[in-house]
Amino acid sequence: MPVRLIGNDERLVHQIGDTKFYYKRISSDRASAIRRKHTVRGEVDGGKVGFEILETHLLDWENVLDWEDKQVPFSAENIRLIPDEVLGEIITAIGSADGTPAKTVEQAISKQDKTEKNS
């Protein structure tokens, strides 16, 4: 599988169940800068690093619901309400070399179209 460069207008999708998270990958120099920013006396504040990466690289979402099954709008404040396990999976996708385990939006739509045609 080839390594793909990170494009300025990159928009990938990571799907968890019926929910889609749209993001762009992070470059190693940007990730390093964020880690340095949140390091005090040699200690990295992983929570701050993670949330800054999410706030700058998570672009949007579809089908995120509250406890009343109402759609939750995408916002930096609402990112902080997503369960840790899901946030970890999204951060892993943001740091991936080739856009996997997620897919480009076009690939996801193409796969969905093929599935619907075969149904």
Q: Where are the domains of the chain?
A: 12-110
Q: What is the band of 112 on the pLDDT scale with cuts at 50, 70, 90? A: very low
Residue 61 tokens read as: 């979402």
Q: Is pLDDT larger for residue 27 or for residue 109? A: 27
| Residue 16 neighbours by CB under 8 Å, 6+ apart | 86, 89
What is Dmax (Cα atoms) for the chain? 58
Whether 77 shows a pLDDT value over 90: the answer reads: yes
What does the block give as tokens for 114?
Answer: 């093929």
Q: Considering the chain, what is the average pLDDT of its residues?
A: 84
Peptide bond into 101 cis (omega under 30): yes
pLDDT digits (tens, 9 = 90+) for 28-39: 889 899 999 999
